[in-house]
Structures are given as structure tokens and as C-alpha cells.
Structure 1
Amino acid sequence: MMDASELSELAFFHDIDRDVIDFLAKGSEVRQMDQGEILLHQHDRAIALYFLATGKVQFLIHVAGMDDLLVGTDSEVGALIGWSVFRAPYRHTVTVRCETECSFIRIPRTLLTELMGGSPLIAYTLLRRVAIVLAHRLENNRDRLIASSGVEGRNMVEPAAAMRTRGSNPFVEFENLGSDQESTFRFLRHVTFFEAMPDHHLRSMLSLGQMIRVNPGTTLFQQGGEAEKFYLLVSGRIELWYCSSDGKICFFLNSLESTGQAFGWSALVEPNHYQVSAIASDSVCALVFTAEALTALCHREPLFATELMERVIWLIGNRLRMARTQLIARRYHKETLAVTALLEQNAATLHVTSPLHKIPYLLENRLTLSDAFGTLELIRNHGEDENERNLARLSLDILEKVHDELHFYQGLQRIYESVANAPEDQTPREVRHHCMRAFRALFEQTHYNVAGEEHLPDSSGHLFIMNHLENHTDNMLPNDFRLTLDTHFVSSMVIYPKYHEAPIRVVKKPELDWYGFQQYFDRLEYLYVYPGEVDEEDRDHHLTREQRNRQFIEQALERLQQGDNIIICPEGRCYYTEESPGPFKAGVFRLALAADIEPLIVPIAVANFDKRLTRTCTAATVFPPFKVSDYINDPDDAESLSEFILTVNEWYKGYVKQAIELTQRCEKAL
């Protein structure tokens, strides 16, 4: 038992009747804890409510294979901890750790249940105050999302400006539901938000509703605006956006598109200001309830008020869970990890037979990602219950960028198959044309910047050199082949549009067990260079390295004479953007000097192709072409050639720097 005066001093119990305070004080106690001690463990059963008396606590989320993620702190005297005592299945959603020495007031859940069961008015009052606490924490977590987004100072899309109301009459309001009232009641009866609510309470609420139809692009409410209405989605799609306090940074939170989803809960929670902006991304039909009418009904019918506020807490809790899951995705740059954490947090609420339990395993491998998305979409539309469907929706929202990556990866797979297994009656030239068109369609789905195209020679038959970048590991095909995206980009997005012919690439001869590599290169009729001393293929085993090099030069010169453009990466290996360029080898320069009619060498610098193309901006910049003979008088002067290659290497350091600057400008424009 504790002193009732300590309890009455807490802001949470301000203006609560003294007999209520005395009742709670009899079963409550004060607990002292040392720095580093755990007050609550994530997933443990919520058997008590706590209020922070002294000290500072941390809120942490467990992330498998990683350190626990800090999602908030609190040192305010009277801070409420363990709100899950008010919400089934009564499991803590975070771990609470003492950052300093702490003391807490502990109130058993059984005591609260007895109190609230005996007085609906007290229950409504306490639940309203819990909702205020949750709303504040939700706002703090969303602010953390902005702080962790890495876009400070960048002008992102401002919803109000980006999606202006179209049409002269965006709302079509009906004064009442009329003959549709009974069908609307049946609709509400199956909405999860109203699950298990007594029919007479549901009909009382229904009597206050109006049906509205909203044109695409309409802002239903703006962040920070006075919250006057609460909504239930009947049809259409709503986007929720959140902005920083100065309005300079805004990001998309999630979308609502399932029948019966509730939004605009701020109309029922003090201080009654919308936390987000809600925008209709297509035609929307919704049930609307004014805050004034609902509040009046709550005061008349405390039992209804308790039912309603329990559901509002459930709704805010879902939003808080979503924000924290997004924090995991941003912190670790792994949306799949965030979804795994989300499903782990809610495992106790799912049936053991739920297909959601297998999603983390399907997300582990790129080859099973499509199965994961197929399963999630099926559950979203036909899940066993609303909890399962809601978790599937949240997972799909979080995995949106992963879905883009999967689409890109599947595009790479299709291109490889169409080239490596092209019909035998297709000529290499036809296969190259098909390859270029397919890559252009794929790259058009990404963010990129191309500059310097005015430096491309008018005629073809030249040597194009470029720095060569590593491939992101996510682009590895099942046969261990990684399509080099930088060279394919330059080929399809820079050279092909200018000359309407696919360039010929110079590639290393694949090793014998790299069958998939050679199958692809052979169909494109690329030129091979041989990095090893001996080729194991029977037709070449008698050739020395010098003979093979001479053979390559002869083949390359023949292609140049035919008017083909050739792409060569002089480094001979790949580098990351920040380390590029590596040292150049002499082969391309000797090839240029060996031609009867010397070709131009056209420098192209690229950046960011070593990253995930769906999450970054890439760039390719063309620089003024040159002839080697303008710098080398004697082609046999090895020393002069070496000095010139070093000079070109220095040029390229500046070239790559300019390409990186192009990517940065592109990113700022997003």
C-alpha cells in the first residue's frame, strides 16, 4: 500500500475523485530500480501499470541479430509506462530499461479492471488520458522517423502542394443515410474497429454519421489543423503524410484502402489537432462523424464512450507499432528485418496456423521474395481476421521499396533469359537490339542523370572508355552471374539512342564453370580478353597469351572498321564509386594506335551503379573525345604511353567527381 497523496499528485490522476485515488492506492506500491535494470520486457504479459516517479527510462525494440533499437526516452515525472494493460492481448510492445536510477509507482491491472468495470465514467476518463499519452508518443516516434531519414534540408514533396483539390465540388455530402441506414449498419457490424460493440451502441453512433464522396486529390484534413471529424473508409484509397515542424520535410506514412479502416482519430483525443495529412489518391467514399456529436454521445452514454475509446487506443497503438517498425527499417536499411520484427511483436495475436508466420523465412532469400508478396497480398485481401489482414497491410506498406527491388531483379532475370536463350535464328545484332530495348525499359524505372551527350561523335566506330563499378550483391542471379549495370546503362541509355546500334563490349573470358556467363556473352557476340595464361578450350589451347592478345586486337579493329562502337573499361576490374577510378591498363590506348584510321576515345564517367538502383540516383557523364596520337608521337614509346595513361587517370578522377555531383543533384530533385 502507498500514500494516496503520491498518486493524486500525478498529472494522469488530476481531478480524479479522491475515493478513486484511495481505492487505487491500497493496492499500489513504489518500486526502486538501479541503472540498467529492466522494468518491462517486450512480449511479457502486461500485469501492471507504472508511472515514473524519478529517473529516466529508455524504450527499446528487439531486432533479431541486431542491438535493441532505441525508440524513445522519458524522464517526465508521472510518465505512463505499460499502457498494454488497457489493450488485449495485454503484452508489452517494448522493453523499458532504466537509463538512470529510477523509482516507479506500480498499479496492478486487476485493480484497474475492477475499478473500470464498476464505473464506465471513470473508465472513459482514464482511457481518454491513455489515448493522449499514446498520441504524444506516436508524434515523438514520427519525429524520430524524420530525424533518421537523412534528408534534413531537402525539400521533399509537400502534400498540400503536390495534391491540390481538383474540381469545384470536392465533397458530396448527404444529410443523412436515409434508406441506406440498415445496409450501413450491416457494413459497420463487420468493421474490425467496431468488433464486439453492442448493437445499440453501434446504432447510436450510426445515427450521427454522414456519407461523403471525395474527388481524387482532395485533402480531407491537414496536419496541425483542428480535428473536427472522424472517418471510416467505405471505398477508395487514402494516403497519410507526416511533415516536420517547419514543413520542409514530408514523407509518406502509409495508405488506407481496405473497407472499414478508421482515420482521423485526433477528433476524439485532446488536444484535437490532426497529427497527419490525409489525401484521397482516388475517388473516396467515407462515413464521417463530427467530433462534437461523438463527444456529446460519449457524455450521455458512458458505456458507449468506454467502448469507443478502447477502440481508439487500439487504433493509435497500431499507428505507433507502424512508426516503430518504420524506424527499424530506416535504422538498419532493411525493411525485411522490420517486417520480421513486426510479426514477432504480434506473434501472440496470430493463430498458430497463420501463413504470416512463414513470411520472415520467405523474405530471407531473393528467390522466395515473390512468394512472400503473393502470400501477403492474399492475406491482405482474404485473411482469417482483421488483425491478420492489418498486419499484412502494414507489412506490404513497409516492403514497398523491397517490392520495387524485386521488380527490378525480375527484370534482370528476364533480360538474361531472353539473351542467353535467344532463338538460334536470331543474329547477335538482333539479340543486342532486344537487349538494349529491354534495359532501357528497366532503367527508365529508376532515377538517373545523363550529361555531356553533346560530346558524342556524330559518326560511329569509336572506342568508349568508362570507369567500372562493382555490382550490388542483390543483383546476383541464381547462376551467380551479375549483369554489369554500369556498362549496360552506358550502352542502352547513352550510346544506343545516339547511333541506334548496340555497342560491342570487351569482357574477360569466363572460366569454364561459368557457363551462364559465356552463354550470355556469346549471344551478344562480345569481344573476349583472356586474363589467364592458357585457355582450356580445345580450339584455343595451342595459343600463347601474346597470340590471343593479337587475335583480340585484330577482331576489335575489324569491328571498328565495320562502324561498330566498342566499350572498354581500362581498369580491368571493378571499384566502388567512392574508390573509382582504379589504375588504367594500356590495352585500349594501344588498340587505338594500331588502327589504320585512328578512332576517337570517348570518356564516360559513371557513379552509384554499385548501389541499389531503386534507392539511389545514378549518373553517366560524357566528356570531350580525344585521339591518343594527339598526345603520343611514337606508338612504340612505352614510357610516353605510360605517362599519358597516368594523365588520363588524373582526368578521370575529376570526371568521376562530376558524375557523383550529378547524382547528388538528382537526389535533391526527388
Structure 2
Amino acid sequence: MINQETLFTLFPNGKIRILPKKTVIATPHQKVTSIYWLLEGSIDHYVSLDKPKKNVLVNKTAEPMTCIGWNGLNAPGRFYHATVVGSKEAELYEVPMDQIEQYLDSNPDSAFLRDIGQRIYYQFGQALSRQIKQMEHEHLPTAPSTLEPYVISPEPDTEEMITLMRRSPFMEAFEDEDLRELAGHTVRREYEPGEEIYHQREPTPGFYILIQGEVTIERHQEGVRFKHRTLSTPGFVFGWSCPLEMPDVCNAMATHKCSVYMIPTEQLRAILKAKPALGIRFHRRLIWLLGNHLQASFTRSVYLSIHHDQLTIHNLIEGHKSKLQLSSPIYQVPHLLKEYVTKPIAYDILHQLNQKGNAAEKFIASISLQLLRHDEKELKFMQGLNRIYESVTENAETDPEALRKACSASTRQLFEPLEVKISGWEQLPKSAGHIFIYNHLLNDPNYTLPNGFQITLDSHFISSLILDATYNSPGIRTVRMSKGPEYGHQDYYERLGYINVFTQDSDNAPARREQAKKIFYEQATAHLKAGENVIISPEGTSYASEESPGPFKMGAFNLAYQNPEVCIVPIVLFNFDKRIPANTYYARILEPLKLHEKVENEKQLKPFVYEYQRTFAAEVEKIRRLSDEQKK
């Protein structure tokens, strides 16, 4: 790397600047007129937020020869963030941009630009290290992405490869002649999910271009696996340290089966050395790319600071507006993200720009989609809840059994992309016609439909993913009688043919309660004798996972006692009251009970239920501990 003495030799007309603490060296969107190298002292980097109005410290460095103003080497030639003297004073060497350009014109060797790239890459590693400490127990978005299919021949011609390269914001700045030169030295590689492509702290084998699949760029430090980026856009490049001749600060791992083109390290270096003009263009563009990734890491620091997805995106766009066209649809995104009904439009814009926008739009869209992955996952979840509701209320079918099957299919689709763990399948009776009890869990209020109705996740889960999956029938559930204004509840459950019961959340009408209790036993018995499973929450209301189970009422147990051939099949649930990001839903099927084998007469039933609730609670506690262990 270039040292201070060499810098003075290359640019003898540069000037030493000694600046006191808090001197502002650069401000966002300011035109870069000089590049500075830090000789002594330290500097702080801040991202200036528009909402709320404040500056967020995103990095500190005292590394000698740290470069400030590298943004001037690529259009639009403006600073991205604020840089301030952090130490009592700092000594810097200033070289005007015109002297830099004159040097590059007369010295086609790319070593100088490579050195600047190395300095940026070092800052990038620093920023990632700082974020890992900043995170502590934070979990950044890592939800699975939707992969874009990309078809290319197993042995493509050069034009196919150039078309792929053109999709990359990095490659789009090169002429066809440059791309042909690079394409002529690529080799194709295939990676399976979980396979490492290169390792942190080791030189990368080459410079990679993604064909299809998904690659995660992550850093391992202090026992933490920290995901910097997930790349799934065909044409995007990684292995950025390869042309810098430095060990990589991250691992690269295939998270889905993926195909890549690789330019082996030695061949890339040979090309850039043999063609100096290409070397200059390549390293200029690499500085642009590394700057973007440094900015992405700074954006993540903002995310960790303000804990607000939409404001982070707003400030990301504000910070890059000097690179955006006034007509860019990216400006609409923060406003569209504010409301549930307009969020799908926001994500459509982001996905379109990630594929077909200009370089600035692709960068902002890709970072935004990365940071918003949990939010987008929740949007899809809410859309899934809507589909469940409409599969019942908007269905032309009127037969309750057919509607229950439609509801089950939509529920299965809802849970398909989520982390679900079901154990105890071997406990299920071979045939249907039994009572299934479970600990009823609250719904998170964020999953309330626009009409105020909540799809009960736990009971729908049991119906679809356990009973329908095993017996080809979702079973019959007991549902509380709705209150007068709950039209969403009424429109939904009245079509499904379930058994209505009074709970503490129903209207208070004592006469109707007694009548409903009698009807419950009659209808439930009829369904059991017809070979249908009946699903009952013995608590009569819902609780948080940590407070579950509540006191058991006797209804389900009286019903089982009145039908000696029927088993009670307990199912323990956990986390169905939690929001879906980074959540695992647990269900454990327990050993079935035949009450006539547990009690000799009806008088013993209530004491048995009291004791069994303690057994059931112990099983809930086991799953709670399992859930806690999985989060560590």
C-alpha cells in the first residue's frame, strides 16, 4: 500500500492541513474538489438524517492514510456523508482533484486507484465490526427472498454473457470491448445451499458474477454471524477484494442453489495489468462499488440507531438524491410504505428498480429491499390472512364442508414459507372422531384485518397443518359467539358450520348461554359420532405464550366423558402470539387420553382436570425452553 512518503512524491504540490476537533471536512452532497489522506489524528463519519433531524455516528477511524473524498473519482463526484475531525486535531494531506486526474491521465498504472480501493475496503471492514458490537442482540432482516429466474445456456456465447453483465450496476459502465475481454476469461461454477464460496480472512479465488440463485455475504466475529448483503439479482458481482489483492472481510455462502461466473484472481490481475486503460476504468468503478457497500453499511448503522424501517429508507433516498433523476419513482416509496393498502405498490417499484433501474436506483432499491425484508414478509403474511378470509366470505361455494377445505388450503399456503416445528405425530389416533384440545394463544394486534377481524392462527394451524394433513378433513371447531358489531367475525364463521359457544368475550345473555351449552353438547356429540374431529380450547379465552395455559374449563372433558370411545388429544402450542419475523411456531402432540381409563366416576373428573392442567403446563414450559434455546 502507498505510504506517506510515496504520496508526497506522487503529489508534491499537495498541502498539509492541520484541523482542530469538530472541523467539518465534508458535508453530504458537497462537490468533491480535493481528496484528503489522514496523516495523524482521527476522523468521524456521520449520516445526516432528515427525519428526525440529527446526525448519526456511523464510523470512527484513526488509521493513517485513510482516504476522504474518493467519491470525486466517479460521477456525480459528491460526498455521501459528513466527515468531521474527531481527535483534538488532525493532520491531513490535501490533493486537488485536477491534480489527481492529471496523474491518472499520465500514469495508466492502476496501483494508485487500487490503493484507494484498499483504504475504502479497510473502512468497510471497520464499519462491519462496529455494527456487530452495535447489534448486541439485534437481529437484522434475513428473511428468504424471492429469486428471479434467469436462463442462460450451459455453454453460452459471449453475447449472452455480456447481456448478463449489463444487468450489473458495476458492469454497466464498461464498453462492450471491455466486457468481451472479461467474458473471455470466465469459468462457470455451481454451488449447493449452505456451500461456502470463499472464506473470510482469505483471498478470494476470483471475481464473481451471479447468474441465478442467492448468495449471502456475511461476517463472522465474536461468535456472531452478521449478514451484510444477500444477492439474488442476476448480474450482480461479489468477491470485491479479489482485484484489491487483500483478504476478504466476509464469507460468501450460497443460501439457495446458485450458478456464477468467476474470473480467477490471477487472470483478472493479468488482464488489468496487460490493458492499463481497462485497469484504470475497472478500479475507478470498483471504488464506486466499494463506496456503495460502505454506504450500505452506514445505512444499516442508521437502521440500528433509529429502529424504523421507513425512516431509514427515507433517509437513504435523501442521502443519495444528488445521484437520482427528479422523475425517479424511488421518491414515491417512503410515502407508499406508510399504509398497508399502498405497500404492495412500494414493493413493486423497488423490485422493478432493482432489476431495471439505473445504477443509483438499483443500489437504493437493493439496500431498501434488504432492510425491508421483514416488513415485506409481514405484508405477504397479511395478504395471506386476507386470502384465508376471502376463501370463506367471498367464495361462491355455500357448503360448509367445502368452505372448511378451502379455508384449510389457504391456511396451509399461509404457513408454507414460515418456520414451523411439529412433533409427536406418532401420538395421533389412526382414525378421526376425537376431541383435540390446545392452549389458545393471543393474536398479535398487527395481524388484524381492515374490518377488525383476527384470523386465529393457532386453531387454523391445527385444522389445516395437523388434522387436514392427517385425516383429509380440517375438523369442527368451537368458536365464540360474536358481539353485535363484529360483522367480520359473523360473516366468516357463520359460513363454516362450526359450533358456537359463549365465552367471556361474547355478549352477556344468560338465557342464551344455557341454551348454547346444551346445543354445544348435542352438536359436538353428533360430529364425533359422524367421525369428525372436534377442536376445543378448554381455557375459553386466549393468553400470551408466556402466560399459557389458562385455567381449563370442563366442557371438553365432560364431552369426552359422555363419549367413552372418544380420546382427548392434547396439542401444546407456542409462539403463535408472536410476529412472524425471526419466529418459529411450535406444536407438540401429546399422548391421547381416554377419560374412563383415568377416572372411575364423574366425581373424579374435576380433580383429574385440575391435575392434568399442571401436566399440560409443564409441557408448555418444555417448549418455551426449547424456543429460548433456538434463539441463542
Please state which band the TM-score falls in when normalised by the shorter chain: 0.7 to 0.9
Q: Superposed, which structure 2 residues align to 1:426-441 within 5 Å?
A: 426-441=398-413
How far 1:556 sits from its partner (Å)?
Answer: 3.1
Structure 2 vs 1, CA of residues 252 and 130 (structure 1 numbering), >3 Å: closer, same or farther? closer
Residue 412 (structure 1) aligns with? 385
Which amino acid in the other structure matches residue 422 of structure 1?
Answer: N
Identity of aligned residues (%): 27
Residue 621 (structure 2) aligns with? 657
2:440 to 468, 478, 481: 468
How far 1:313 sits from its partner (Å)?
Answer: 0.5
How far 1:113 sits from its partner (Å)?
Answer: 1.0
Residue 18 (structure 2) aligns with? 30
1:217 aligns with 2:195: no
SS in 1 for 2:229: strand
The answer to whether the 8 Å contact 1:210/1:288 transfers is no
1:392 aligns with 2:371: no
How far 1:551 sits from its partner (Å)?
Answer: 3.6
Residue 74 (structure 1) aligns with? 61
- Could you list the per-position Cα deviations for residues 327-355 of structure 1 after superposition, in whole angstroms to 9, with x for gaps in the alignment? 55677776555544433322221111111
Residue 288 (structure 2) aligns with? 314
Which amino acid in the other structure matches residue 253 of structure 1?
Answer: R
Residue 76 (structure 2) aligns with? 89
How far 1:230 sits from its partner (Å)?
Answer: 4.3
Which amino acid in the other structure matches residue 40 of structure 2?
Answer: A
Structure 2 vs 1, CA of residues 542 and 467 (structure 1 numbering), >3 Å: closer, same or farther? closer
Residue 147 (structure 2) aligns with? none
How far 1:483 sits from its partner (Å)?
Answer: 1.0
Residue 516 (structure 1) aligns with? 488
The answer to whether the 8 Å contact 1:447/1:666 transfers is no
How far 1:565 sits from its partner (Å)?
Answer: 2.4
Residue 136 (structure 1) aligns with? 122
SS in 1 for 2:436: strand
1:576 aligns with 2:540: no
How far 1:273 sits from its partner (Å)?
Answer: 5.3
In 1, distance between residues paired with 2:598 and 2:167? Answer: 80
Structure 2 vs 1, CA of residues 548 and 247 (structure 1 numbering), >3 Å: closer, same or farther? closer
Which amino acid in the other structure matches residue 336 of structure 2?
Answer: L
How many residue pairs align between the two structures?
611
The answer to whether the 8 Å contact 1:481/1:516 transfers is yes
- Could you list the per-position Cα deviations for residues 430-454 of structure 1 after superposition, in whole angstroms to 9, with x for gaps in the alignment? 2212322332343233221112233
Residue 146 (structure 2) aligns with? none
Relative to structure 2, which stretch is displaced further, 501-510 or 518-527?
Answer: 501-510
The answer to whether the 8 Å contact 1:52/1:80 transfers is no
1:269 aligns with 2:244: yes
Q: Superposed, which structure 2 residues align to 1:459-608 within 5 Å?
A: 459-531=431-503, 543-593=511-561, 595=562, 597=564, 599-608=566-575
How far 1:606 sits from its partner (Å)?
Answer: 0.6
Residue 88 (structure 2) aligns with? 102
How far 1:526 sits from its partner (Å)?
Answer: 1.7
Q: Superposed, which structure 2 residues align to 1:259-338 within 5 Å?
A: 259=235, 261-271=236-246, 275-277=250-252, 281-284=257-260, 290-297=267-274, 301=276, 305-326=279-300, 338=312
How far 1:417 sits from its partner (Å)?
Answer: 0.8
SS in 2 for 1:16: helix
Structure 2 vs 1, CA of residues 64 and 122 (structure 1 numbering), >3 Å: closer, same or farther? farther
In 2, distance between residues paired with 1:209 and 1:274? Answer: 26
In 1, distance between residues paired with 2:536 and 2:445? Answer: 23
Larger radius of gyration: 1
Which amino acid in the other structure matches residue 16 of structure 1?
Answer: L
In 2, distance between residues paired with 1:473 and 1:343? Answer: 31
Residue 345 (structure 1) aligns with? 319
Which amino acid in the other structure matches residue 540 of structure 2?
Answer: G
Which amino acid in the other structure matches residue 367 of structure 1?
Answer: V
1:611 aligns with 2:578: yes
1:423 to 369, 374, 396: 396
In 1, distance between residues paired with 2:184 and 2:299? Answer: 34
Residue 112 (structure 1) aligns with? 96
In 2, distance between residues paired with 1:206 and 1:237? Answer: 24
How far 1:69 sits from its partner (Å)?
Answer: 5.7
Which amino acid in the other structure matches residue 267 of structure 1?
Answer: C
How far 1:607 sits from its partner (Å)?
Answer: 1.0
In 2, distance between residues paired with 1:251 and 1:447? Answer: 19
How far 1:14 sits from its partner (Å)?
Answer: 3.6
In 1, distance between residues paired with 2:208 and 2:465? Answer: 47
Which amino acid in the other structure matches residue 117 of structure 1?
Answer: E
Q: Superposed, which structure 2 residues align to 1:374-385 within 5 Å?
A: 374-383=348-357, 385=358
Structure 2 vs 1, CA of residues 190 and 78 (structure 1 numbering), >3 Å: closer, same or farther? closer
In 1, distance between residues paired with 2:435 and 2:314? Answer: 49
Unaligned runs of at least 5 residues, structure 2: 143-152
Residue 338 (structure 2) aligns with? 364
Q: Superposed, which structure 2 residues align to 1:192-207 within 5 Å?
A: 193=170, 203=177
SS in 2 for 1:510: coil
In 2, distance between residues paired with 1:549 and 1:66? Answer: 60
In 2, distance between residues paired with 1:43 and 1:140? Answer: 23
2:7 to 16, 24, 38: 16
The answer to whether the 8 Å contact 1:449/1:663 transfers is no
In 2, distance between residues paired with 1:186 and 1:421? Answer: 45
Which amino acid in the other structure matches residue 407 of structure 2?
Answer: C
In 2, distance between residues paired with 1:464 and 1:184? Answer: 58
Structure 2 vs 1, CA of residues 462 and 147 (structure 1 numbering), >3 Å: closer, same or farther? farther
2:38 to 48, 51, 63: 51
In 1, distance between residues paired with 2:163 and 2:556? Answer: 75
How far 1:591 sits from its partner (Å)?
Answer: 4.4
Which amino acid in the other structure matches residue 296 of structure 2?
Answer: M
- Could you list the per-position Cα deviations for residues 9-48 of structure 1 after superposition, in whole angstroms to 9, with x for gaps in the alignment? x975342344834x222xx4322226xx876555555566
**How large is the Cα RMSD of the aligned pairs?**
4.4
Structure 2 vs 1, CA of residues 478 and 12 (structure 1 numbering), >3 Å: closer, same or farther? farther
The answer to whether the 8 Å contact 1:173/1:211 transfers is no
The answer to whether the 8 Å contact 1:211/1:285 transfers is no
In 2, distance between residues paired with 1:129 and 1:53? Answer: 18
Which amino acid in the other structure matches residue 431 of structure 1?
Answer: L
In 1, distance between residues paired with 2:127 and 2:82? Answer: 15
How far 1:358 sits from its partner (Å)?
Answer: 0.8
Which amino acid in the other structure matches residue 574 of structure 1?
Answer: S
In 2, distance between residues paired with 1:332 and 1:468? Answer: 35
Relative to structure 2, which stretch is displaced further, 77-86 or 437-446?
Answer: 77-86
1:447 aligns with 2:447: no
Residue 149 (structure 2) aligns with? none
Q: Superposed, which structure 2 residues align to 1:214-253 within 5 Å?
A: 214-217=188-191, 222-223=198-199, 224-227=201-204, 229-230=206-207, 236=212, 239-244=215-220, 249=225, 251=227, 253=229
Relative to structure 2, which stretch is displaced further, 388-397 or 240-249?
Answer: 240-249
The answer to whether the 8 Å contact 2:47/2:302 transfers is no
The answer to whether the 8 Å contact 1:508/1:531 transfers is yes
SS in 2 for 1:656: helix
Structure 2 vs 1, CA of residues 67 and 620 (structure 1 numbering), >3 Å: closer, same or farther? farther
More RCO (CA 8 Å, sep 6+): 2
How far 1:646 sits from its partner (Å)?
Answer: 4.4
In 2, distance between residues paired with 1:145 and 1:378? Answer: 29
The answer to whether the 8 Å contact 2:443/2:576 transfers is yes
The answer to whether the 8 Å contact 2:272/2:278 transfers is no
In 2, distance between residues paired with 1:20 and 1:265? Answer: 28
2:611 to 621, 642, 647: 647
Which amino acid in the other structure matches residue 476 of structure 2?
Answer: I
How far 1:267 sits from its partner (Å)?
Answer: 3.2
The answer to whether the 8 Å contact 2:198/2:204 transfers is no
Unaligned runs of at least 5 residues, structure 1: 1-9, 157-169
In 1, distance between residues paired with 2:253 and 2:434? Answer: 55
